[in-house]
Structure 1
Amino acid sequence: MSFATATVAQLYPVASTDSADSSAPAVRGEIEVQLRMRHAGQRALRLRYELVGAAGAPVILVAGGISAHRHVAATAGFAEKGWAEGLVGAGLALDPQHRRLLGFDFIGADGQLDAPIDTSDQADAVAALLDALHIDQLQGFVGYSYGALVGLQLAIRHPRRLQKLIAVSGAHRPHPYASAWRALQRRAVALGQLQCAETHGLALARQFAMLSYRTPEEFGERFDAAPEVINGRVRVAAEDYLDAAGAQYVARTQVNAYLRLSESIDLHRVDPAAVNVPTLVVAVEGDRLVPLSDLVSLVEGLGPRGSLRVLRSPYGHDAFLKETDRINAILTTALRLPGETA
């Protein structure tokens, strides 16, 4: 198998501070790498990371969907809200007093890279980051959605770098129905660009996405109200929610970053039989983007290296962000070290 090569240029600490407990420092930094990308050739890239936790503790890399970033959860050192609040903290599976938690910004997340991005490129970037941080091996890679795709690629391309993969709501290939959803979302952005209103197109794309992330059951419970006629137009109950979701997304997301990372999901293809790392797959019944049947196929392809947990949740694909207690219980068992008590 031919792997892309990544050359680390230099490590740049951007900020460093101690959390409330001096044994659990938090540091942010960035590295420059030369990465040979699958579809875009040799590129100079900058990788941004955040590392939180007790020095010398086992390292867990946590990666989320295409909207996620290096800041997983608020700490005393970096107090702003992270993308996975509720999954990190004292007494949880991802406890910075007992684990070092590594997060990174996906390649392309800053919107500067206008080229196709493969999940294999992300995995090679992770390997380069681990080299720069002198981390020989991860105790675990916890990947949600797009992060799970990157984790599968890391387990194939750099298997010695991790002991265990937990892949939540991410399969070995995109489902054609989900790819169709994303294609229409990208067309919404393109339409906005033609009208010189690309942020409006991005907001509309995000609103379409919210319908695919969640379930009809949730919308039935939350928005079962009669429509209103406002200024001669009919407005349904869910529109305020969708408008807010679009506005929030536009405020923090570069248009090009969204387009290239959305494409990256659809480019993703791996052979489950090539994964040589113990892998726990977590599926959500009712997830319309990553159906249970696809994750069953993934586990079957993994053979003895794979196991499956299934959640039932009205939150669909977003269950990993909403069902934090249940996800934490799964992670607690999956990441328990020999001799470690519950």
Structure 2
Amino acid sequence: MNTPHTPGAPLPPASGAWREGDPPGRRQWHLADKPLPLESGHELPRIRLAFETWGRLAPDRSNAVLVLHALTGDSHVAGPTGPGHPTPGWWDGIVGPGLALDTDRWFILAPNVLGGCQGSTGPASRRPDGRESWGSAFPFLTPRDQVAAEAELADALGIERWALVVGGSMGGMRALEWAVSHPERTGALLLLATTAAASAEQIAWANIQLGAIRSDPHWNGGNYHHTGHGPHTGLGLARRLAHITYRSEQELAGRFGRSPQDTEDPWRGGRYQVESYLDHQAAKLVRRFDAGSYVVLSEAMNSHDIGRGRGGTRAALGRVTAPALVAGVDTDRLYPLAQQAELAALIPTASHLRVIQSPHGHDGFLTETEQVAALVKEILTTVRPVAP
């Protein structure tokens, strides 16, 4: 199966990563002045984090909110497409003047995760000596490493304590790490469609996706960034599989059923509508993401275990001191509600589990704007910032 290509359109580059010389868009950058020690025992020298901000930071820095993105997200939480930003803001209905994260009141900061591909240090980035991309030499990361990098960013900006840390899916893993690793720096916590530890099933789904990428002949052991040919078929297959787990059977049946795509005949080599939909999702991701980052971030998610080295899950979650809300999506088959129920039961400051009702499966934390906005507003009632 090949990633679709429109005749006459330019072929995708080897990587969809943001590169030096590309339009910066709304990005700002933090360049660390010292190496970052990693849980694996290795270190990353002089990391760089890209980030975007909205609103104005209060003089005492009490109104800062940290928003953490999911696997294929980035720092562009709000705003239109444009130079440097191939996709619109992924939480446009949540962040802005008068919205749940009201930028007239709150200072919103969203970093591109360490290991990502939209301005932060990752496999597509050049090494510090400037010679070539990291490629296969990029070290193994965990969510704790990524939070350590974000803590350095907060230090550089003089933000001693976040009024709120919020994230969904992979972003929820990092938000939880913030609350456990830095309880004194986490003023309030909102966890959406996430878990205390990656489950065997989640690791299994990721294994198949990573296998698809690594089996692509253009993967070249992870060293493809300067070959002119990226592992687009493998990345496209990974995206197709992942997207099925992100949505629900109910939605796919209602939207597509068994209908063929336009005039195509599935009995004669044509596609069903649902196949065309998956092809479209694959083609979009290939043009805006990096296969190496997909591998690094997926492996980081697999490593997520909040209780590792902390006496187990219960002991680790007992460290959380911030007022917390935990929510899941009723049709989520990738991060089922039982995982959020565990978080709500074991975080001492959490109230009962909140359920987002959606036909969209795991992606409901992105698509159900009104329900998520209500959760954001509720948790923010526990915070009293100084006006900026």
Q: TM-score range by the shorter chain?
A: 0.7 to 0.9
Which residue identity is paired with 1:218? Answer: E
Residue 283 and residue 231 in structure 1: after superposition, are their counterparts in 2 closer, same or farther (change >3 A)? closer
User: Contact 1:149–1:170 at 8 Å: present in 2 too?
Assistant: yes
State how far apart, in whole Å, the 2-side matches of 1:141 and 1:195 are. 36
Unpaired segments ≥5 residues, structure 2: 1-22, 124-133, 221-229, 307-312
- Say whether 1:334 aligns with 2:379: yes
State how far apart, in whole Å, the 1-side matches of 2:72 and 2:244 are. 16
Partner of 1:46: 48
1:186 is aligned, of 210, 223, 243, to: 210
Q: Could you report, residue by residue, the CA deviation over 1:79-114 in whole angstroms, capped at 9, with x for unpaired residues?
A: 952222211122212121111000101111033262
3-state SS, counterpart of residue 372 of structure 2: helix
Residue 208 and residue 63 in structure 1: after superposition, are their counterparts in 2 closer, same or farther (change >3 A)? same
Structure with more relative contact order (C-alpha pairs < 8 Å, separation 6 or more):
2
User: Contact 2:329–2:357 at 8 Å: present in 1 too?
Assistant: yes
Alignment of 1:185-224 (within 5 A): 185-193=209-217, 198-224=231-257
State how far apart, in whole Å, the 2-side matches of 1:158 and 1:246 are. 37
Q: Which has the higher strand share?
A: 1
Partner of 1:10: none
Partner of 2:114: 107
Residue 245 and residue 27 in structure 1: after superposition, are their counterparts in 2 closer, same or farther (change >3 A)? closer
Unpaired segments ≥5 residues, structure 1: 1-14, 18-25
State how far apart, in whole Å, the 1-side matches of 2:57 and 2:178 are. 24
Name the % identity: 31
State how far apart, in whole Å, the 1-side matches of 2:385 and 2:295 are. 45
Partner of 1:95: 102
2:292 is aligned, of 239, 243, 256, to: 256
State how far apart, in whole Å, the 2-side matches of 1:264 and 1:278 are. 27
Residue 185 and residue 100 in structure 1: after superposition, are their counterparts in 2 closer, same or farther (change >3 A)? same
Alignment of 1:157-306 (within 5 A): 157-193=181-217, 198-227=231-260, 228-229=264-265, 232-270=268-306, 271=313, 272-306=317-351
3-state SS, counterpart of residue 235 of structure 1: coil
1:225, distance to aligned residue in structure 2 (A): 3.5
User: Contact 1:174–1:290 at 8 Å: present in 2 too?
Assistant: no
2:143 is aligned, of 85, 104, 119, to: 119
State how far apart, in whole Å, the 2-side matches of 1:335 and 1:276 are. 15
State how far apart, in whole Å, the 1-side matches of 2:216 and 2:143 are. 27
Q: Could you report, residue by residue, the CA deviation over 1:281-326 in whole angstroms, capped at 9, with x for unpaired residues?
A: 1111121111111111122221344542111211111001110111
3-state SS, counterpart of residue 43 of structure 2: strand
Residue 302 and residue 253 in structure 1: after superposition, are their counterparts in 2 closer, same or farther (change >3 A)? same
User: Contact 2:54–2:109 at 8 Å: present in 1 too?
Assistant: yes
State how far apart, in whole Å, the 1-side matches of 2:385 and 2:175 are. 26
Q: How many equivalent pairs are there? A: 319
State how far apart, in whole Å, the 2-side matches of 1:37 and 1:213 are. 30
What TM-score do you get using the length of structure 1 for normalisation?
Answer: 0.86
Which residue identity is paired with 1:328? Answer: A
Partner of 1:143: 167
1:235, distance to aligned residue in structure 2 (A): 2.0
Which residue identity is paired with 2:304? Answer: H
User: Contact 2:69–2:112 at 8 Å: present in 1 too?
Assistant: no
Which residue identity is paired with 2:37? Answer: R
Residue 234 and residue 78 in structure 1: after superposition, are their counterparts in 2 closer, same or farther (change >3 A)? closer
What TM-score do you get using the length of structure 2 for normalisation?
Answer: 0.76
State how far apart, in whole Å, the 1-side matches of 2:269 and 2:320 are. 53
User: Contact 1:276–1:305 at 8 Å: present in 2 too?
Assistant: no
State how far apart, in whole Å, the 1-side matches of 2:343 and 2:139 are. 28
1:175, distance to aligned residue in structure 2 (A): 2.2
Which residue identity is paired with 1:281? Answer: V
Q: Could you report, residue by residue, the CA deviation over 1:125-183 in whole angstroms, capped at 9, with x for unpaired residues?
A: 11111100011111001111111100111111111111011010111011222221111
Residue 193 and residue 27 in structure 1: after superposition, are their counterparts in 2 closer, same or farther (change >3 A)? closer
